[in-house]
Chains A and B, each alone.
Chain A
Amino acid sequence: MNPLPPNFRNWFAARGWHIHPHQQQLLDRAAAPAALLIAPTGGGKTLAGFLPSLIDLSTAPKDGLHTLYVSPLKALAADIRRNLQTPIEALDLPVRVEDRTGDTSQTKRKRQRADPPHILLTTPESLAILLSYPDAPTIFAGLQRVVVDEIHALAESKRGDQLMLCLSRLQALCPDMRRVGLSATVEDPPALGRFLAPHPHPCEIITADPGPAPDITILHSDTPPPWAGAGAVYAVKDVLELVEGANTTLIFINTRAQAEIFFRALWTANDNALPIALHHGSLAREARDKVEAAMVAGSLRAVVCTGTLDLGIDWGDVDLVIQVGAPKNIKRLVQRIGRSNHRYNAPSRAVIVPANRFEVLEAQAALDAVRENTLDGEPRARGPRDVLCQHILLRACAGPFDAVALYQEITQAGPYSDLSRTDFEDCLEFCATGGYALRAYDRWQRLMLNPDGLWQLRDPRSAQSLRMNVGTIVDTETLNVRWRGRGGAPLGEIEEGFAATLSEGDTFLIGGQVVRYEGLREMTVQVTKGRKEPRIATFAGTKFATSTLLSTRVISLLNSGDWSALPEHTRSWLEMQQQVSMLPKLGRMLVESYWRDTRAYTCFYGFAGRNALQTLGLLVTRRMETAGLHPIGFVATDYALLIWGLDAVEDPAALLSPDDLRDGLEGWLANNAVMKRSFRNVATIAGLIVKNLPGKRKTGRQATFSSDILYDTLLKYDPDHLLLQITRAEAMGGLVDFGRIEEMLTRVQGRIDHVKAAHVTPLSAPMLLEVGKVPIYGAAVDRAAAIEAAELMREAGLG
């Protein structure tokens, strides 16, 4: 056992603290190559991660970088810096702590490279950039420890894969480096351990006492929630009452646009003028900083926020979490409510506010799952190769490299431990020559093999562009929004596509204010105070990971006959569903058809999880296209699949027949929007599509063309190209293997209940407003466009 040195012991004692068992355990394993601490939020997790470093630096002070801390959020890095100051000042430790993120100034970044602090707090992207400099070995010389915070969240995306590749690079530069991962509760700790540890080393896993069970309830408002929609504005009065009854409340909403609407509604009804603020990732940094500072100072009663505040920022006073909109994923809910009551031994209090009546069902099912302690989640896929391509290019920015040594380094990263040599060579070939069957770029290779047998950039100037495009988050292009006038204060950002729909005088919501669009100046949206009813800014939405577990629970709840746990309004809503249609039955499939405006809608209640139903959507729309039903688009949730088209579906059984499911499927899938969307992400990450160019910005003008063109060209002339292989693997990851669909269809054959309803049914209504719609590029588009064009010509007297 490593006892605390006297100065630390005294500091703990002076504050009336005892070292938590998991803090001690982590300290005892300070020499292990990798350790993973699983602890609830508020369990002194961060201090546990830094304690070995602080003790080290206290007993044997030395210059240079000692500990690197990586977190998924910029805000988290700033927050940790504040929190670390407390022990450092109290113990008078000779330790300098600095953060380095996309928000850090150029001057400071430059200085940090020459004179790194003892503890550097950063994000995966900033780390990748640091490692791409030729002086990386000097910057990181002597590095002892890496602390990866919120590693469960990083492991859910490609950011985690990129980070693990970077850690392998660091390990090669600093062989003594130890890794610590800090995580919220996860379903498979050993898998997360393998992800973190340098392969083939084991990972020590320490699990802290999870503390008392959380106290979660569903809001039972006197105002019934609407049938559809995600805004939950109906519950504003109730939410204000809850805020009033608590010290500090965090109100989570799934998307930025919904957060804007809900915040505005709260503000309008806020008769007691409670200090409530808004925080989301599209707001200007200045605005976010202000909210965070006010929160730290304890001057706010509530913050309406999205995922930006989702992770571990330590604001001790929060004693209530309100989740608006039912969480799609139980794991997320448990991790979120860890936020409330950071005191370790008090139960967290959370209230779920369903946004519509279907979400009442979903919330009830989620609540049951939490009570029974069932976590859900998808197992991790192997490390994706587009991230690897980016890593290879960035490695070349740092200087010439040996391919064999790089391959060995890469296979020490957990997610890439089983990467084959051939797969690596393919990625290297892509980075060097583009990897095309037609060898067109021999003269203009990106990477060249030099006479020493090392790979290097052909044109060293390309390093700048590569660094500018680091990262695995492919954003929609956005524009900054500022008040009009010289030096107008920044408000935040909106999507370029949304900005393009604005004309002078239009109003929209941003940062809780209504603003009026005045015009575009140098790629900045200029606004003034707006007065009329706003349109809503569209922000990049996140589609949540899904849970088949929840969908099984929901259909069981519907079939149970016992709805006593449900509020009266939801029961009567289900009764109305029984009148205009029927309830979905276990072991059968309900199909509803109805007309709305000029479109024919068909809803298939599969209750099979979103991946399976998205795949079913692709299969059924192909059959509809063949049958001349002109499908236009579809959307899938965990529960159902909704398809709309120009012609009504009369015989759903034929569409759902398990026979010849795969006929002609390949071409149909290749041309689908899901595939093109995946390609855009893959091509951007792998460096084929350049988002940012030094010195200029792409403006969507003549010079730029859509990634769909590249996709179509590759598909036609080089169908086995690496990026298409990666795209297929990735798109299929979001789909489900056809074997399971065939099985499902065989099971429901002859057990289909088809209802032709007169209008939208209660159960399908929420689907109409669901995000993640997939367009169908079929005959319907041309046919409808021709009709529309003829109509416009007639109106203009030209037809």
Chain B
Amino acid sequence: MHGYSFKLDRITLTALASGLLWWQERRLLCVSDLHLGKSDRIARRGGALLPPYENRETLNRLALAIDALDPLSVICLGDSFDDDAGQNALEPEDHAQLTTLMAGRRWIWLQGNHDPGPVALGGTHMAEFKTGPLVFRHIAQSGAHGEISGHYHPKASLRSKAGRLSRPCFLIDQSRVILPAFGAYTGGLRCCDPVFAPLMSEKALAVLTGSQALPVPMGKAREPQLEA
């Protein structure tokens, strides 16, 4: 699996091209913002009837990584479901796939702003999770160290001679990592957004995901995307 390895508080972590974070030493896999049940929630509220395949797509991608890495622990950094009703909306097939993925390993659901409640699917549900020097939570807190979070759906763009590439990205500096959203139906927030200024240091990197993990200085990846 292609990835970019770096150190956070002396711990070696790998930002995978697929958008997952891997802690090799502990065989711990971390994923953020799955937003399962998103199309169901939109429909329930009288909105558009989007192609109802995003759960399948999201879980298939997650399964690829779990099959390849066989993690001991999986931490979901919150907003795993688009709302608390989302867990009940899973098709039987998707439900079965998720429980298969969970079987035989420690599985932690951290609460997010979309899914504050506990999860009926099993696993452990908590607000945040600390292990060694690292702390995992949904939303980054300023002043924290060794923090791993999600929530913001960061994306970055890079201009090359073949044109502009805009991708979900990791944001990494000496005190924290912010993960990209992993769910199929998720958008992104440009990493030049002012919301990131108090969180990320000037030396922060943006690691673009996709077919390869591409690290660039975050300040150089700020060129906003021109939508086609």
Q: Which of A438, A440, A599 has the most CB of B within 10 A?
A: A440
Shortest 4 CB-CB contacts between residues of A and residues of B: A434-B49, A440-B52, A784-B162, A784-B160
**Given A688-B48, A703-B187, A796-B220, do A788 and B158 touch, yes or no (CB 8 Å)?**
yes
Q: Which residues of B contact A496 (CB under 8 A)?
A: 227
Excluding A440-B40, A702-B189, A703-B187, 18 further A-B contacts by CB distance (< 8 Å) are A434-B49, A441-B43, A441-B49, A462-B47, A500-B190, A501-B223, A688-B49, A705-B186, A781-B160, A782-B165, A782-B210, A785-B165, A785-B214, A786-B212, A787-B160, A792-B220, A793-B215, A796-B220
Cβ distance A661 to chain B, nearest Cβ, rounded Å: 26
Q: From the candidates B51, B160, B208, B228, name the one contacting A721 in the complex (CB within 8 A).
A: B51
B187 lies within 8 A of A793 (CB): no
A690 within 8 A of B: yes
A786 lies within 8 A of B162 (CB): no
**In residues 48-67 of chain B, which contact A (Cβ within 8 Å)?**
48-54, 56-57
Q: Which of B39, B52, B226 has the most CB of A within 10 A?
A: B52
B216 within 8 A of A: yes
A718 lies within 8 A of B53 (CB): yes
The segment out of A11-19, A333-341, A709-717 that lies at the interface is A709-717
Q: Which residues of B contact A465 (CB under 8 A)?
A: 46-47
Q: Which residues of B contact A484 (CB under 8 A)?
A: none
Q: From the candidates B91, B162, B188, B226, name the one contacting A781 in the complex (CB within 8 A).
A: B162
B161 lies within 8 A of A599 (CB): yes
Cβ distance B13 to chain A, nearest Cβ, rounded Å: 17
Q: From the candidates A705, A782, A796, name the one contacting B217 in the complex (CB within 8 A).
A: A796
Q: Which of A458, A465, A787, A789 has the most CB of B within 10 A?
A: A789
Q: Which residues of A contact B40 (CB under 8 A)?
A: 440, 444
Q: Interface on B for A, CB 8 Å cutoff?
A: 39-40, 43-44, 46-54, 56-57, 91, 152-153, 158-163, 165, 181, 184-190, 205, 208, 210-212, 214-217, 220, 223-228
**Given A440-B52, A500-B226, A677-B228, do A702 and B162 touch, yes or no (CB 8 Å)?**
no
B46 lies within 8 A of A789 (CB): no
A573 within 8 A of B: no
**Given A713-B184, A782-B211, do A689 and B48 touch, yes or no (CB 8 Å)?**
yes
Q: How far is A690 from B46 in the complex, measured between Cα atoms in Å?
A: 12
Q: How far is A630 from B161 in the complex, measured between Cα atoms in Å?
A: 12
Q: Which residue of B lies closest to A457 (CB)?
A: B46
Q: Which residues of B contact A630 (CB under 8 A)?
A: 162
A561 within 8 A of B: no
B187 lies within 8 A of A786 (CB): no
Q: Which residue of B lies closest to A458 (CB)?
A: B46
B48 lies within 8 A of A718 (CB): no
Q: How far is A218 from B48 in the complex, measured between Cα atoms in Å?
A: 52
A459 within 8 A of B: yes
Cβ distance A390 to chain B, nearest Cβ, rounded Å: 12
Cβ distance B156 to chain A, nearest Cβ, rounded Å: 10
Q: Which residues of A contact B54 (CB under 8 A)?
A: 713
Q: Which residue of B lies closest to A443 (CB)?
A: B44
A446 lies within 8 A of B49 (CB): yes
A436 lies within 8 A of B51 (CB): yes
Q: Which residues of B contact A703 (CB under 8 A)?
A: 187
**Given A440-B91, A500-B225, A716-B57, do A710 and B217 touch, yes or no (CB 8 Å)?**
no
Q: Which residue of B lies closest to A461 (CB)?
A: B46
Q: How far is A512 from B188 in the complex, measured between Cα atoms in Å?
A: 35
B161 lies within 8 A of A784 (CB): yes
Q: Which residue of A lies closest to B155 (CB)?
A: A702
Q: Which residue of A lies closest to B165 (CB)?
A: A785
Q: Which residue of B lies closest to A632 (CB)?
A: B162
Q: How far is A15 from B50 in the complex, measured between Cα atoms in Å?
A: 61
Give the number of chain A interface residues (Cβ < 8 Å): 65
Q: How far is A677 from B227 in the complex, measured between Cα atoms in Å?
A: 11
A673 within 8 A of B: yes
Cβ distance A573 to chain B, nearest Cβ, rounded Å: 29
Selected A-B contacts with CB under 8 Å, 8 pairs? A434-B43, A440-B91, A688-B48, A689-B48, A690-B48, A706-B187, A795-B220, A798-B215
**Given A701-B189, A702-B186, do A713 and B46 touch, yes or no (CB 8 Å)?**
no
A462 lies within 8 A of B46 (CB): yes
Q: How far is A155 from B153 in the complex, measured between Cα atoms in Å?
A: 43
A783 within 8 A of B: yes
Cβ distance A799 to chain B, nearest Cβ, rounded Å: 9
Q: From the candidates A498, A673, A710, name the one contacting B51 in the complex (CB within 8 A).
A: A710
A646 lies within 8 A of B161 (CB): yes
Cβ distance A440 to chain B, nearest Cβ, rounded Å: 4
Q: How far is A646 from B223 in the complex, measured between Cα atoms in Å?
A: 23
A700 within 8 A of B: yes
Q: How far is A688 from B185 in the complex, measured between Cα atoms in Å?
A: 14
Q: Which of B47, B49, B163 has the most CB of A within 10 A?
A: B49
Q: How far is A440 from B44 in the complex, measured between Cα atoms in Å?
A: 11
**Given A438-B91, A632-B162, A633-B163, do A717 and B189 touch, yes or no (CB 8 Å)?**
no
Cβ distance B186 to chain A, nearest Cβ, rounded Å: 6
**In residues 425-470 of chain A, which contact B (Cβ within 8 Å)?**
433-434, 436, 438, 440-441, 443-444, 446, 458-459, 461-462, 465
A384 within 8 A of B: no
B51 lies within 8 A of A798 (CB): no
Q: How far is A497 from B228 in the complex, measured between Cα atoms in Å?
A: 9
Q: Which of B57, B211, B227 has the most CB of A within 10 A?
A: B227
A717 lies within 8 A of B210 (CB): no
Q: Which residues of A contact B188 (CB under 8 A)?
A: 702, 705
Cβ distance B114 to chain A, nearest Cβ, rounded Å: 11
A444 lies within 8 A of B43 (CB): yes
A598 within 8 A of B: yes
**Given A440-B39, A440-B40, do A717 and B56 touch, yes or no (CB 8 Å)?**
yes
